[in-house]
Amino acid sequence: MKLLRILEESPDAAIDEAIQDTITDAEKLWEPLEFEGEYPLTGFGISTLRPMHVGDPEASNYNWWDIAVAAANTWQDWVSHTVDEKAYLILAGIFNLSASPSVTELAFKANGQDLPVQNLEHMYAYEESLAWFSTPFAVKPEGKIVSRIYGKVAQTEEIGLLGFCIAKRVYLIDEN
């Protein structure tokens, strides 16, 4: 997995393939429900990835992306979450809205597999601090997603994930 802003490539085809593969898997798992796009009425659909999809409902950041970098120059947990049985997550990229970003590296473990550590510093050189993963990855219902970050300064960081949630309607319309 590489961050694509470096190479000026577009991950559109890879993201579309991940979405289509996930929809196919969901149709089998949730049969007889059908995929109904962005506005499902009775089946399942797709929406943008929200903090609640990867976070703890008791956390203060349930509806916005942030993390308190607790200590400088050390790894710490960011996301440690078991996906709801009504949802699939597709993680496709990362963004950081902090005025002076601290997070320099990011590591994921998804579906029991460790993924390569990514250095994020180069994305801060762009006008928009965001980067797409060359290979998006999906986390199945009841699958585990774990992410750790490395920060160089202790501060609250406005960092989040880019991606999609394919889920049953009841999950997509949850306003929590």
Q: What is the pLDDT of residues 90-127, one digit of tens each?
A: 999 999 999 999 999 999 999 889 999 999 998 888 88
Nearest one of 75, 76, 94, 83 to 55, comparing CA atoms: 83
74 Cβ contact list (under 8 Å, min separation 6): 150, 151
Question: What pTM was estimated for this model as a whole?
Answer: 0.89
What does the angle CA 139 – CA 123 – CA 137 come to, to the nearest 5 degrees? Answer: 15
Q: How confident is the model at residue 12 (pLDDT cuts 50, 70, 90)?
A: confident
Residue 7 has pLDDT above 60, yes or no: no
Q: Which domain holds residue 119?
A: 4-172
Per the structure, how many domains does the chain have?
1
Average pLDDT on 41-53 reads 94
List the CATH number of the domain containing 44. 2.60.120.1170
The pLDDT assigned to 125 comes to 84
